[in-house]
């Protein structure tokens, strides 16, 4: 949800307004804008997922810092995970410095203090959660800060954050938003423990978060046609039998869940302008469907239309909407096409 766009403000008010909004959303901090004389542009979006708050900050370069003194003015003691989806971020804590690009994560603990920023135009994506919700000692969190690159959980959490950000408006409004926030929290616990805890604690948290890590792994590899129960089990050092038992206990049908998520991906790509030049077979193959006939059959079973019909209906409806914007009322044929699309959405498999 868009909270602030400084393009709507007079240039002289932008820095002060952004600072006030940032403090209101995430807590007390210091902020220094890069080249304020050249103009400041900021766009701040915020979404809530139960115990977790997701932020996306777009715009010109800046430096933000938090000190123990800032923390004393806040009622919340929080932990944040930060990544940079555009540009290169710089994170500093207690002598530890790291570059944070699109393939890296930084862990920040508010009471420990830290500094983060970027130069030029950039986009940072971060989430924040109360430290007590992690259920981990603060010294463990701080121990993990310089060690994240060593964690096997980091790529899973990074992919998870990207997925949340990409569909944040839709997902945060969904009934499952709180569950998504809780899953993110559990992945964060696993991330910290994997590099900072003793063997006993690592084993305990690994067991508690296994299903969540399995699901995150599957999401990160959905487009790989080699994704199988055997490869999933091997990646988590468990047997295929244990994998199936784990999924059953979690109320999850493994094959059906994978197929459903892949079908959702193809359905999305079939109606997205940047994929308009690609064939249906190429899109299906990019989501792990190597057999065109099987893909078409499963798509029809789930959505009530074939992939070709789905693409044509959406394309016709989009074109008709453009005409209607300049020509007047919506025709009966367009209404019929829209109803068909909605009916296809309603036919989604469980």
Q: How far apart are CA 268 and CA 272, in angstroms?
A: 6
* Residues paired with residue 57 on neighbouring β-strands, in sequence order: 44, 124
Angle at 172 between CA 14 and CA 313, to 5 degrees: 105
DSSP class of 119 = S
DSSP class of 198 = -
Binning pLDDT at 50, 70 and 90, where does residue 331 land?
A: very low
Angle at 276 between CA 270 and CA 281, to 5 degrees: 55
pLDDT value at position 74? 76
Q: How far apart are CA 230 and CA 290, in angstroms?
A: 18
pLDDT value at position 250? 85
pLDDT value at position 216? 85
Tokens 């789930």 belong to residue: 302
- Which pTM was predicted? 0.70
pLDDT value at position 318? 56
Residue 255 backbone dihedrals phi, psi, to 5 degrees:
-65, -45
Q: What region, left, alpha or beta, does residue 309 occupy, with left being phi > 0 and alpha being psi -120 to 50 degrees?
A: alpha
Least confident of 22-36, 198-212, 246-260, 321-335: 321-335
In the chain, what percentage of residues exceed pLDDT 90? 64
In the chain, what percentage of residues exceed pLDDT 70? 90
80-96 mean pLDDT: 96
Burial 320-335 (b: 16+ CB within 10 A, else e): beeeeeeeeeeeeebe
How confident is the model over 118-170, as pLDDT tens digits? 999 999 999 999 988 888 889 999 999 999 999 999 999 999 999 999 999 98
Helix axes 307-327, 332-346, angle to 10 degrees: 140
Structure tokens at 262: 């892949």
Q: What region, left, alpha or beta, does residue 94 occupy, with left being phi > 0 and alpha being psi -120 to 50 degrees?
A: left
Element (H, E) at 325: helix 307-327
Q: State the architecture of 2-220 in CATH terms.
A: Sandwich (2.60)
How confident is the model over 183-200, as pLDDT tens digits? 999 999 999 999 998 888
Q: Where are the domains of the chain?
A: 2-220, 259-346
Binning pLDDT at 50, 70 and 90, where does residue 1 land?
A: very high
Least confident of 8-22, 142-156, 203-217: 203-217
- Is the confidence at residue 345, as pLDDT, over 50? no
pLDDT value at position 124? 98
| Position with higher pLDDT, 111 vs 192 | 192
pLDDT value at position 181? 92
pLDDT value at position 76? 78
């Amino acid at each position: 949800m868009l909270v602030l766009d400084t393009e709507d403000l007079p240039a002289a008010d932008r820095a002060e307004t952004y600072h006030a909004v940032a403090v209101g959303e995430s807590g007390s901090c210091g902020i220094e804008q890069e080249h304020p004389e050249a103009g400041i542009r900021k766009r701040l979006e915020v979404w809530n997922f139960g115990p977790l708050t997701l932020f996306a900050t777009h715009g010109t370069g800046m430096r933000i810092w938090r000190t123990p003194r800032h923390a004393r003015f806040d009622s919340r003691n929080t932990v944040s995970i930060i990544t940079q989806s555009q540009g290169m971020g710089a994170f500093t804590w207690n002598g530890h410095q790291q570059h944070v690009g699109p393939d890296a994560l930084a862990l920040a603990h508010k009471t420990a203090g830290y500094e983060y920023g970027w130069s030029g135009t950039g986009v940072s994506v971060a989430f924040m959660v109360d430290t007590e919700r992690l259920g981990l000692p603060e010294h463990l969190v701080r121990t993990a800060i310089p060690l994240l690159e060593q964690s096997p959980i980091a790529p899973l959490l990074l992919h998870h954050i990207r997925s949340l950000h990409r569909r944040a408006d839709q997902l945060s409004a969904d009934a499952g938003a709180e569950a998504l926030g809780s899953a993110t929290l559990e992945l964060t616990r696993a991330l910290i423990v994997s590099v900072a805890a003793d063997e006993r604690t690592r084993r305990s948290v690994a067991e508690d978060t296994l299903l969540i890590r399995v699901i995150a792994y599957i999401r990160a590899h959905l487009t790989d046609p080699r994704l199988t129960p055997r490869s999933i089990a091997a990646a988590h050092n468990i047997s295929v039998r244990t994998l199936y038992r784990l999924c059953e206990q979690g109320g999850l049908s493994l094959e059906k869940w994978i197929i459903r998520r892949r079908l959702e991906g193809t359905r999305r790509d079939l109606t997205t302008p940047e994929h308009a030049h690609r064939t249906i077979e190429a899109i299906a193959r990019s989501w792990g469907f190597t057999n065109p006939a099987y893909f078409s059959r499963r798509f029809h079973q789930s959505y009530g239309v074939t992939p070709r019909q789905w693409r044509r209906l959406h394309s016709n409806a989009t074109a008709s909407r453009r005409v209607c914007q300049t020509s007047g009322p919506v025709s009966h044929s367009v209404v019929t096409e829209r109803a068909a699309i909605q009916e296809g959405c309603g036919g989604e498999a469980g």
